Amino acid sequence: MSFRFAHNNFNVRDLDKSLGFYKEALGLKEIRRKVSDSGDFILAFLSDGSSEHQLELTWLRDWDKPYNLGDNEFHLAFITDDYEDAYKKHKEMGCICYENPGMGIYFINDPDGYWLEIVPKR
């Protein structure tokens, strides 16, 4: 028996805003969508185009408050082949929320406050 990663899920309040952020900040593209028959939820699956792992964004029609993200101790990490340009882009976007120069990494926030770690290709 074996297992492999399929996707991670983030619940989002504004699906269009989140899709725009993930496309601009990380180059992720929506590859499929599931809309419930009743319209009470939408699942949008994003891909980086090179790995099988996907990010599922879930929008819930009746959710009307920010999501409780705890202490933001969980996150997704992304490797970039151009750390300097990525840093510059994210600085211009105003989405860098934490920097650790000693480790050579930084984090950005998505529109709902989820943390995304940016790591240089080593």
Q: What angle do CA 27, 89, 83 make, to 5 degrees?
A: 80
Burial zone of 90 (CB within 10 Å; 0-12 exposed, 13-18 middle, 19+ buried): buried
Q: What is the pLDDT of residue 122?
A: 87
Q: 7-62+74-120 — its CATH code?
A: 3.10.180.10
What mean pLDDT value characterizes the chain? 96
DSSP run (H or E) holding 58: strand 54-60
The pLDDT of residue 2 is above 90: no
CA distance 55 to 47: 7
Give the global pTM.
Answer: 0.93
Whether the per-residue pLDDT at 72 is higher than 80: the answer is: no
